[in-house]
Structure 1
Amino acid sequence: MVAIRMWLLAATAVSVSAYGEYKVGEKVAVYVNKVGPYENPHETYHYYSLPLCRPEKIIHHSLSLGQVLDGDRMADSPFDIKFNQPMPFQSLCGRQRLSAANATALAEAIEKMYYAELIIDDLKVHHFLGSVLEAAVFPHEHRVFLYTHYEFELEHNEGHVIAVHLRMNRSSRLELQHETEVAVDIGYSVVWRETSTPVASRSQSSSSSSSTFFAASRAGAVHWLSIANSLLLVVVLVVTVGIIVASAVRRDLSRYNRRDDEKDDYDELALDNGWKTVAGDVFRPPAWPMALSAVLGAGAQLLTLATALLLVGTTEVVAVHNHGLLHSLCIIIYALTSGIAGYVSSHKYQELDGKRWIANINVTSLVFVAPLAAAWAFSNTVAWTYGSTQALPWTTVVALVAIWALVGYPLTVIGGLLGRSVRAARGSSAPFRTRTIARELPREACTRRTPAQALLGGLLPFSAIAVELSYIFSTMWGRETYTLYGVIAIVFCILIVVTACCSIGLTYMQLASENYHWWWRSTLIGGSIAVYMFVYGIGFLLHSTSMGGPVQLTQFVTHLGLLCYAAALACGTISHVAAATFVQYIYSSVKSD
Structure 2
Amino acid sequence: MAIAGFLLLLFLCSGVTVQSDASNHKYKPGDPVPLYVNKVGPFHNPSETYRYFDLPFCPPAHLTEKKEALGEVLNGDRLVEAAYKLDFRVDKDSDVVCKKRLSRDEVASFRNAVIKDYYFQMIYDDLPLWGFVGKIEKDIKADVPEFRYLLYKHIHFEAIYNKDRIIEISVQAIQGEPNHLVDVTEDKGIDLELTYSVKWKETDTPFEKRMGKYSKTSALPHHLEIHWFSILNSCVTVLLLTGFLATILMRVLKNDFVKYSHDEDVADDQEETGWKYIHGDVFRYPKHKSLFVAILGCGTQLLALAMFIFILSLVGVFYPYNRGALFTALVVIYALTSGIAGYTATSFYSQLEGTNWVRNLLLTGCLFCGPLFLTFCFLNTVAIVYSATAALPFGTIVVIVLIWSLVTSPLLVLGGIAGKNSKAEFQAPCRTTKYPREIPPLPWYRGTIPQMAMAGFLPFSAIYIELHYIFASVWGHKIYTIYSILFIVFIILIIVTAFITVALTYFQLAAEDHEWWWRSLLYGGSTGFFIFGYCLYYYYVRSDMSGFMQTSFFFGYMACICYGFFLMLGTVGFRASLLFVRHIYRSIKCE
- Give the aligned partner of residue 406 of structure 1: 406
Q: How does 1:361-380 map to 2 (within 5 A)?
A: 361-380=361-380
CA contact (8 A) 1:32 1:76 kept: yes
Change (3 A) 1:91 1:160: same
Structure 2 residue 189 is matched with structure 1 residue 185: no
The verdict on how the C-alpha distance between 1:553 and 1:121 changes in structure 2, with shifts beyond 3 A counting, is same
Conservation of the 8 A alpha-carbon contact between 2:149 and 2:183 = yes
- The code of the aligned residue for 2:573 comes to S
Q: Do 2:375 and 2:556's aligned partners in 1 also have CA atoms closer than 8 Å? A: yes
Residues 182-214 of structure 1 show CA distances to partners (whole Å, capped at 9, x for unaligned) of 111111111111211111112224566xx7xx9
Map of 1:466 onto structure 2: 464
CA distance in 2, matches of 1:469, 1:455: 19
1:167 maps onto 2:167 in alignment: no
Q: 2:230 aligns with which of 204, 226, 229?
A: 226
Take 2:457 and 2:323, find their aligned partners in 1: how far apart are those partners? 30
Tell me which amino acid in the other structure corresponds to 1:238.
Answer: T
- What residue in structure 1 maps to residue 448 of structure 2? 450
**Contact 1:319/1:325 (CA < 8 Å) preserved in 2?**
no
- Measured in 1, the distance between the counterparts of 2:367 and 2:410 equals 16
Deviations 1:59-92 (A, max 9, x none): 3211111111111111121111111111221001
1:251 matched residue in structure 2 = 255
For the residues of structure 2 that align with 1:293 and 1:431, how far apart are their CA atoms? 21
2:535 aligned with 1:531: no
- Tell me whether 1:81 sits opposite 2:86 in the alignment: yes
Q: Secondary structure at the match of 2:168?
A: strand
Amino acid at match of 1:358: V
Q: Normalising by structure 1, report the TM-score.
A: 0.93
Structure 1 residue identity aligned to 2:555: V
Inter-CA distance 183–304: structure 2 relative to 1 (3 Å threshold): same
| Equivalent position of 1:384 in the other structure | 384
> In the alignment, what sits opposite 1:575?
573
**CA-CA distance at 1:406 after TM superposition:** 1.2
Q: How does 1:428-577 map to 2 (within 5 A)?
A: 428-577=426-575
CA distance in 2, matches of 1:39, 1:182: 29
Residue 571 of structure 1: how far off its partner (Å): 0.8
| Corresponding residue for residue 416 of structure 2 | 416
Q: Letter of the aligned partner of 2:458 in structure 1?
A: L
Normalised to the residue count of structure 2, the TM-score between the two structures is: 0.93
- Percent sequence identity is 37
Letter in 1 for 2:272: D
State the partner residue of 1:360.
360
Kept in 2: contact 1:321–1:482 (CA 8 A): no
Q: 1:29 aligns with which of 17, 29, 34?
A: 34
Distance 2:257 2:563 in 1: 38
Aligned residue for 1:235?
239
SS at 2:391 equivalent: coil
* Cα distance per residue 1:496-532 (max 9 Å; x no partner): 1111111111000000111110000000001111111
Structure 1 counterpart of 2:273: 273
Amino acid at match of 2:528: A
Question: CA separation of 1:142/1:428 partners in 2, compared to 1, >3 Å: closer, same or farther?
Answer: closer
Which residue number corresponds to residue 393 of structure 1? 393
Contact 2:17/2:322 (<8 A) preserved: no
Deviation at 1:54, TM superposition (A): 2.8
- CA shift, 1:319, in A, is 2.3
Closer/same/farther in 2, CA of residues 206 and 534 from structure 1, 3 Å limit: closer
Looking at structure 2, the residues matched to 105 and 558 of structure 1 have their Cα atoms a distance apart, in angstroms, of 29
Q: Are 1:215 and 1:480, in contact at CA under 8 Å, matched by a contact in 2?
A: no
Is 1:97 aligned to residue 101 of structure 2?
yes
Checking the alignment, whether the CA contact within 8 Å between 2:83 and 2:97 is kept in structure 1 is yes
The secondary structure found in structure 1 opposite 2:89 is coil
Instruction: Map residues 105-184 of structure 1 onto 2, 5 A cutoff.
Output: 105-135=109-139, 138-170=143-175, 171=177, 172-184=180-192
Distance 1:250 1:150, change over 3 A: same
Which amino acid letter does the alignment assign opposite residue 326 of structure 1? L
Tell me the secondary structure at the aligned position of residue 58 of structure 1: coil
1-structure distance, mates of 2:358, 2:31: 60
2:345 corresponds to 1:345 = yes
- Give the SS at the match of 1:258: helix
Q: Does the CA-based 8 Å contact 1:320-1:326 persist in structure 2?
A: no
Query: In the alignment, which residue of structure 2 is the partner of 1:39?
Result: 44
In the alignment, which residue of structure 1 is the partner of 2:77? 72
Provide the C-alpha distance between the structure 2 equivalents of 1:255 and 1:320, rounded to a whole number of angstroms.
Answer: 60
What's the secondary structure of 1:165's corresponding residue?
strand
Label 1:260 to 1:144 Cα distance change in 2 as closer, same or farther (>3 A).
closer
SS at match of 2:138: strand
Cα drift, residue 259 of structure 1 = 3.4
In the alignment, the residues of structure 2 paired with residue 91 and residue 384 of structure 1 have an alpha-carbon distance, to the nearest angstrom, of 34
* Structure-1 residue corresponding to 2:5: none
Shift of 1:466: 0.5
The aligned counterpart of 1:5 is none
Q: In terms of mean alpha carbon deviation, does 136-145 or 480-489 score higher? A: 136-145
* Counterpart residue number, 1:590: 588
- Name the CA distance, whole Å, in 1 between partners of 2:323 and 2:93: 35
Alignment match, 1:4:
none
User: Corresponding residue for 1:312?
Assistant: 312
Secondary structure of the 2:420 match is helix
Give the length in aligned residue pairs.
575
SS in 1 for 2:513: coil
Q: Structure 2 stretches of 5 or more lacking a match? A: 1-8
Partner of residue 6, structure 2: none
Q: How does 1:185-204 map to 2 (within 5 A)?
A: 185-204=193-212
Q: Distance in 2 between matches of 1:294 and 1:459?
A: 26
Shift of 1:398: 1.2
Instruction: Measure, in 2, the Cα distance between the counterparts of 1:335 and 1:157.
Output: 42
Match of 1:3 in 2: none
CA contact (8 A) 1:133 1:144 kept: yes
For 1:165 and 1:135, the matched residues in 2 are separated by 30
- AA aligned to 1:97 is R
Cα distance between partner residues in 2 of 1:318 and 1:531: 28
C-alpha distance in 2, partners of 1:436/1:321? 61
Residue identity opposite 1:144 in structure 2: Y
- The question of whether the paired residues in 2 share the 8 Å contact of 1:537 and 1:560 is answered with yes
Shift of 1:135: 3.5
Query: Which residue number corresponds to residue 56 of structure 2?
Result: 51
In structure 2, the CA distance between the partners of 1:323 and 1:477, relative to structure 1 (3 Å rule), is farther
Distance in 1, matches of 2:163 and 2:417, equals 56
Tell me by how many angstroms 1:134 deviates. Answer: 2.0
- Residue-by-residue CA offset, 1:397-448 (whole Å, 9 max, x unaligned): 11111112211121112222222222x2x32311111111111111111111
Distance (whole Å) between structure 1 residues aligned to residue 551 and residue 572 of structure 2: 31
Letter in 2 for 1:27: P
Amino acid at match of 1:300: T
CA distance in 2, matches of 1:515, 1:207: 52
Give the drift of 1:255: 1.5
8 Å contact kept, 1:148–1:174: yes
CA distance in 2: counterparts of 1:262 and 1:256, whole angstroms: 10
Tell me whether 174-183 or 120-129 shows the greater mean CA deviation.
Answer: 174-183
The residue type paired with residue 550 of structure 1 is: F
